[in-house]
Structures are given as structure tokens and as C-alpha cells.
Amino acid sequence: MVNLKVNLAGIEIDNPVIPASGTFGYGQEFAQLYDINCLGTFSFKGTTRDPRYGNPTPRIAECPSGMLNAVGLQNPGVDKVISEELPALKKIFHKPVMANVSGFSIDDYAYTCEKLDKEEQVGWLEVNISCPNVHNGGMSFGVDPVAAAEVTRAVKSVTKKPVFMKLSPNVTDIAAIAVSCEEAGADGISLINTLLGMRIDLKRRAPILANKMGGMSGPAVFPVALRMVYQVYEAVKIPIIGMGGVSSAEDVIEMMLAGATAVEIGAGNLTEPYLCRDVIAALPAVCEKYGIDNLESIIGGAHHG
């Protein structure tokens, strides 16, 4: 019998598979398809201080082995998430859930995290620092080690639950950003968020996305994500959640060998809604194939072999 359980910043989860934020909503749609309690946990839709209607359409563009999105963090705002989404979620999901938080100022992040930290069903806070800093010319918090550390400290000062900082891959040295978050008190690191890309409509001779550029996800980004997880594992001592193009049980094991304690699946949920369930079901056989009897024992294994 293969032991799939892992300890994620002090909370044991049944397996390392986690649907990524923005690809699983607040769980309701997927709960109509299968029992989502088979998941380790899931990261719910990115939540901001105030409601957001998102970017104009079109927001999605296809590309080889992936997709581009520029949804724009559409969500009902933290107060409605707490008053409506979490009570509804509690009826269908009986495990701690990961709250994904976005913001456009340090005060935004602190306010939203402090509110969600008080919610019983929230087990972890996943803080997306790929957002533009409105007080610093629009530069993403996640591309500057100083800004990343400031957000981390602000969130940790108002929360007691484990905080995972979700990093942007659109940087030259992702390990330096991760180290700055660790030194500022982060309990873990999530990576990678989407890579910035674009497509152009040949007939219109204009960008397909109304936002011009968007985040690329899907299998094409997996090698980049794997490389960054490997680099960050070498640089920090806190746990890592790896993501980016994961679409099979083999990919989960590869991410864990690179250094991930848990693994998020994102874009795959949009094309194959049963993917997370099927990956979890496939994990025991794949583990046996590669002589793995305890998944937790392989974390970072590629650094030692």
C-alpha cells in the first residue's frame, strides 16, 4: 500500500494533489461531477478586498500545448466569499481549504488575509504577489525582493495560519524572491504563476486578448516550472507547492522529486474536469512502478541522486 499523505506546513493532507486557484472556482461546479473530498485540498478563486468584474473580453486565447488568460481576478470580494461562498463550500468539502488572496497594495493584502485567517475552514493562505503594485507604478510585487518581503511581513503580522507566497516566473532570479519571502516569515512558497505571453489575430492584425497580454499556462510551461521549483528548493528550507503544466501522475512525482511537497493542477482542469480525480487515482500504480512506497520520502529526491 502506497502512502500518499504529505504534511503541508503542519497540516496533513491525504495526497499532494491540489487544484490551482482560478481553475476550480469555489468548488461548486466540480462537486457536481465527482466527490471533491478525494483532493488533498484546493486553492479557491483568487479573492480581493473589493469585488472585481475582471478584464473585458476576449479573455482567453489558445496556443500550442497551453492557453493564455487575462481574466483579471474576477471575484465577489472577500466579504461575500466569507458570507456566501465558504458556508456553501462547507456543505460539499470537509477538509481545510486554501484561500488564494490577491491585492494591489500592501494594505489590500493585509486586510483580506486578516479576514480570511479568522475562517475555520481556511487551512492555508496562498498570497499571489504577481499583482501590480498601484503605489509603485504598476510593477508587480513579485518581481522585487523588497516588495515581496514587505507583503509577506504585512500578511504574517495579521495571520496565524500558514502563509504560502505565490511567485511570478516573470523574473530573472526566482530563488532570490523566494529567499526574501522566507526571511520575511513565509511558511511556504507556491510556484509558478503564469508566464506572460500574447497571440495576434492575423485577420484583424491585432492582439487576440482585449488585455493584449495574458498569462500562459498548460503543458508547455512544465519544464520551466520544474526548473524553478528545483532552484527554489536549493535556496529555501520552507515547503514548496509546485505548479505549471502538471497533467499526469508522473508529472506530480517529477515535481516532488524537484522539491515540491504538494502539487497544483491548473489549466488541465479547464480541458479535462476530471483530471485531478484521475491523477489521484493513478498515483498508487505509478508509485509502485517506480518503487515508491511513501510519497513524502521522495520530496527533493532529484537533488540527492
- What residues are paired with 2 via a beta bridge? none
**For the whole model, what pTM was predicted?**
0.97
Residue 247 pLDDT grade (very low, low, confident, very high; cuts 50, 70, 90): very high
Contacts (Cβ under 8 Å, ≥6 apart) of 63: 197, 199, 216, 218, 220
Task: Count other C-beta atoms under 10 Å from residue 198's C-beta.
Answer: 16
Question: Rounded to an integer, what distance in angstroms lies between the CA atom of residue 132 and that of residue 25?
Answer: 22
Selecting among 113, 131, 276, 287, the annotated active-site residue is: 131
Residue 305, pLDDT above cutoff 80: no
Please write the tens of the pLDDT for every residue from 2-46.
999 999 999 999 999 999 999 999 999 999 999 999 999 999 999
With 70 as the cut, is the pLDDT of residue 81 above it?
A: yes
What is the architecture, at CATH level 2, of domain 6-300?
A: Alpha-Beta Barrel (3.20)
Q: 63 catalytic, yes or no?
A: no
Q: Does the pLDDT at position 138 exceed 90?
A: no
- Cβ atoms of 166 and 132 within 8 Å: the answer is no
**How do the domains of the chain map onto residue ranges?**
6-300
pLDDT of residue 304: 83
**Nearest CA-CA partner of 92 in 163, 164, 42:** 42
Q: What share of the chain is helix, strand, coil (3-state, %, to 5)?
A: 35, 20, 40
- SS3 of 189, please? strand
With cut-offs at 50, 70 and 90, classify the pLDDT of residue 131: confident
For the residues 148-170, what does the mean pLDDT come to?
Answer: 97
Q: Is the pLDDT at 134 greater than 80, yes or no? A: no
